[in-house]
C-alpha cells in the first residue's frame, strides 16, 4: 500500500507536468529555413533555360536563381547539392554541388553555376557532378520517363569550410556535408521529355 503522503506528492507532480504540457507552445516560434527560386515554379516543370544542353537535350543550361532565409543561428557556411533521385542509375544523378558558401550569402544569381565559378561568392567551391565536371548540369531525363524530380538541398553547416579536393564526388561531398549540417532547406523542380 502506498502512503497517502506519497500519493499526494505524486498528484502534485503529475498535475504540474500536465499543466506544463498544456501551457507549453507546440511551435517554438522560429521561422522555417526555406529555399526559393523565381525560376522554378512550385510543383511545376522546370524551364528550358535550366535544361541541360547535350545528351539529346537542347536547353540553355543556366542554373536557376536561388534565395534562402531563416537559417539556424550559428550557421558558419552553406552547401548546395542538386540531385535527381529518379535517374536510372541506381544511385540518382548529381546535377550541381557547391560548398563553402559564406554564411553572409543568402542568394545565388541565375547562372551562378557556370563551370568557371565566376558568379559564385568568393571561397565557394563547385565539385564534380555526374556529368564529369564542376558546375551546374541541368535536367535531361530519358525520353518517355515520367517527369524526374530535381531536388535542391541547401545545407546550413556548423563549420566554416568543408575540406575536400575540388574534384570530390557528389557522394563524398554529401557525406561530409551531412556530418556537419545543422539545418536543411529544400526545393524541388520537375522535368520530363515526351517520347
The residues spanned by each domain of the chain are 28-191
Element (H, E) at 96: strand 93-101
Dist. CA 188–CA 195, nearest whole Å: 23
* 18: its cell numbers: 500536465
Quote helix, strand, coil % in the chain, to nearest 5.
15, 30, 55
CATH architecture observed for domain 28-191: Alpha-Beta Complex (3.90)
Q: How many CA atoms lie within 13 A of 98 on its CB side?
A: 30
Q: Which pLDDT value is given to residue 35?
A: 97
Q: Which SS3 state, helix, strand or coil, does residue 104 take?
A: coil
Q: What is the pTM of this model?
A: 0.83
* pLDDT one-digit tens code per residue, 110-156: 999 999 999 999 999 999 999 999 999 999 999 999 999 999 999 99
Instruction: Check if the beta carbon of residue 148 is closer than 8 Å to that of residue 192.
Output: yes
Dist. CA 117–CA 124, nearest whole Å: 8
* pLDDT one-digit tens code per residue, 12-31: 333 443 333 333 333 445 68
Amino acid at each position: 500500500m502506498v502512503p497517502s503522503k506519497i500519493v499526494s506528492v505524486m498528484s502534485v507532480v503529475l498535475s504540474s507536468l500536465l499543466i506544463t504540457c498544456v501551457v507549453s507552445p507546440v511551435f517554438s516560434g522560429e521561422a522555417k529555413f526555406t529555399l526559393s527560386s523565381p525560376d522554378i515554379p512550385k510543383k511545376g516543370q522546370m524551364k528550358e533555360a535550366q535544361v541541360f544542353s547535350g545528351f539529346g537535350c537542347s536547353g540553355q543550361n543556366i542554373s536557376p536563381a536561388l534565395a534562402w532565409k531563416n537559417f539556424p543561428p550559428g550557421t558558419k557556411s552553406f552547401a548546395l547539392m542538386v540531385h535527381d533521385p529518379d535517374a536510372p542509375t541506381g544511385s540518382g544523378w548529381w546535377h550541381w554541388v557547391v560548398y563553402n558558401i559564406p554564411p553572409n550569402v543568402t542568394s545565388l544569381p541565375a547562372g551562378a553555376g557556370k563551370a568557371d565559378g565566376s558568379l559564385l561568392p568568393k571561397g565557394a567551391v563547385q565539385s564534380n557532378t555526374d556529368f564529369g565536371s564542376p558546375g551546374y548540369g541541368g535536367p535531361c531525363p530519358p525520353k518517355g520517363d515520367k517527369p524526374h524530380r530535381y531536388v535542391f538541398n541547401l545545407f546550413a553547416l556548423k563549420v566554416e569550410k568543408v575540406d575536400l579536393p575540388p574534384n570530390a564526388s557528389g557522394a563524398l561531398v554529401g557525406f561530409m556535408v551531412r556530418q556537419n549540417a545543422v539545418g536543411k532547406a529544400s526545393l524541388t523542380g520537375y522535368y520530363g521529355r515526351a517520347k
